[in-house]
Amino acid sequence: MTQTIILNVTRLHQSIQYKRLFIPLILIVLFSVPDLRAIILQSLADAFLQVTIFVAVTLYIYYFLLARYPMLDLAYVRKTRPHFEIPVAAMLGALPGCGGAIIVVTQFTKQQASFGSVVAVLTATMGDAAFLLLATRPIDGIIILSMGLVVGIFSGLIVNRIHSPNYLQPKKVVTDIKPPIKNLTTQQRCGHLFWKLWVVPSLIIGVLLTGQFDFDNLIEGSSQYITYFGALGAFIVTLLWALSSKGENYQDVISEDDSASPFSKFNKVMQDTHFVTAWVVAAFVLYEVAVSVLGLDLKTWFSHYAILAPLVGLAIGLLPGCGPQILVTTLYIQGIVPFSALAANAISNDGDALFPAIALAPKAAMVATFYSAIPAFLVGYGIYWINGV
């Protein structure tokens, strides 16, 4: 029965134009199964009220501060203060999201940054998963980002000692990486309306839930309505993300979208929140369904095979894009994946910055990824041997 449903959904997915609709389509199918309905509702509600709303707030604060303190020009730093190039590159990588890493990769393709800077920024970056971790586990987020910054600096300095600064640099200067930015779409305008209606009540409910507030003591049966409210919010956000791109290839699915024009903090926060939410929802639902239907207990598996956890985190980190890394961070937040695996994943993770690197300097991208995997292995297993997990 289950195999038949999955087969039919797969065929339908292949026939539809927007490939990202696979996730909301799967949610609808799973919700139609009576035994799974309560699980899907609760997973969606938890994803939205415990994660999404806090990610949105964190993103807004981040972009507000970023507008006040713009990123440094690495080309200027390299020219005037060459000894600070690697630390600045690592700092740009340690910034949440992929923007800093993409800037350094772009400047490398323009012959304005060294290969060591690429290694430093790719090692330091955690991508969009950093927003998720900072929003839900701020102390852990600061520790991971600080760790990535330090490891990134040392990695970049060592690599520039091994290779010349211009190692594997493209001979042809690249002037632009991203395709032309499109104007606001109907989907984005719907997103504006949704968040204007949903953000305030969602934030209030999310804060109260964090404080373990019992809504049923206030109004009997209200917790069930809150579950519906959160689940509906999560589904709408996932659907908005699915309709924001046709998702014709791997990069379209696991990377954040280009910013809408004219650029605004609200548009950027909305797009990034939708992207993170889609992958958090996928992680929440996938895990709960796997436990319910297949009896799979990942927490027990990682406990029994803890020695493999850092290696698993590292291997997933080598995948381009932020989507797979958000899955790992979500599992860590749920107490399933140990800290050693999260650390290995964060250091080996190159985020969306790996795509322009692969497109414009493929050999440099491969070598830089290999170099970032070495400290990821050492740090992951160093934490494992110290903590035992």
Encode pLDDT of 43-58 as tens digits.
999 889 888 888 888 8
Residue 335 lies in a domain: no
The residues pairing with 127 across neighbouring beta strands, listed in sequence order, are 97
Identify the pLDDT of residue 177: 46
Q: What is the mean pLDDT of residues 243-254?
A: 70
Which amino acid is it at 130?
A: A
Residue 26 lies in domain? 2-64+181-293
Identify the pLDDT of residue 17: 58
Identify the pLDDT of residue 235: 94
pLDDT digits (tens, 9 = 90+) for 271-330: 888 888 888 888 888 888 887 877 777 777 777 788 889 999 999 988 888 888 888 998
Residue 36 lies in a domain: yes
Buried b (16+ CB within 10 A) or exposed e, 54-68: bbbbbbbebbeebee
Q: For all residues of the chain together, what is the average pLDDT? A: 81
Q: 70: pLDDT confidence band, cut at 50, 70 and 90?
A: low
CA nearest to 145, candidates 134, 157, 155, 158 = 134
- Separation CA 374–CA 119 (nearest Å): 11
The residues pairing with 261 across neighbouring beta strands, listed in sequence order, are 183
Better-predicted residue by pLDDT, 352 or 349: 349
Residue 282 lies in a domain: yes
Better-predicted residue by pLDDT, 369 or 248: 369
Angle at CA of residue 67, ends 66 and 70, nearest 5°: 65
User: Based on the structure, what is the number of domains in the chain?
Assistant: 1
Better-predicted residue by pLDDT, 141 or 16: 141
Q: What is the mean pLDDT of residues 186-195?
A: 86
Identify the pLDDT of residue 179: 47
What's phi and psi for 231, nearest 5 deg?
A: -65, -40
CB count within 10 Å of CB 134 equals 23
Quote the percentage of the chain above a pLDDT of 70: 83
- Separation CA 377–CA 313 (nearest Å): 9
Quote the percentage of the chain above a pLDDT of 90: 23
CA nearest to 162, candidates 116, 124, 108, 112 = 116
Identify the pLDDT of residue 242: 87
Identify the pLDDT of residue 256: 67
Q: What is the mean pLDDT of residues 219-232?
A: 87
Q: 376: pLDDT confidence band, cut at 50, 70 and 90?
A: very high
Better-predicted residue by pLDDT, 216 or 343: 343
Identify the pLDDT of residue 381: 94
Residues in the chain: 389
pLDDT at 59 over 60: yes
Identify the pLDDT of residue 247: 64
Q: What is the mean pLDDT of residues 61-82?
A: 67
Residue 146 lies in a domain: no
Residue 84 lies in a domain: no
Residue 17 lies in a domain: yes
Residue 74 lies in a domain: no
CA nearest to 343, candidates 385, 288, 291, 292 = 385
- Contact between 52 and 131 under an 8 Å Cβ cutoff? The reply is no
Which residue pairs, CB below 8 angstroms and at least 24 apart, start in 217-223?
Answer: none
Residue 342 lies in a domain: no
SS (H, E, C) the chain: CHHHHHHHHHHHHHHCCCHHHHHHHHHHHHHCCHHHHHHHHHHHHHHHHHHHHHHHHHHHHHHHHHHHCCCCCHHHHHHHCHHHHHHHHHHHHHCCECHHHHHHHHHHHCCCCCHHHHHHHHHHCCECHHHHHHHHCHHHHHHHHHHHHHHHHHHHHHHHHHCCCCCCCCCCCCCCCCCCCCECCHHHHHHHHHHHHHHHHHHHHHHHHHCCCCHHHHCCCHHHHHHHHHHHHHHHHHHHHHCCCCCCCHHHHHCCCCCCECCCHHHHHHHHHHHHHHHHHHHHHHHHHHHHHHCCCHHHHHHHCHHHHHHHHHHHHCCCCCHHHHHHHHHHHCCCCCHHHHHHHHHHCCHHHHHHHHHHCHHHHHHHHHHHHHHHHHHHHHHHHHHCC
- Separation CA 76–CA 109 (nearest Å): 16
- Give, in order, the Cα–Cα distances in Å from 82 to each of 76, 165, 320: 9, 11, 30
Q: 352: pLDDT confidence band, cut at 50, 70 and 90?
A: confident
Which amino acid is it at 13?
A: H
pLDDT at 149 over 90: yes
- Contact between 234 and 28 under an 8 Å Cβ cutoff? The reply is no
The distance from CA 229 to its chain's CA centroid, rounded to whole angstroms, is 24
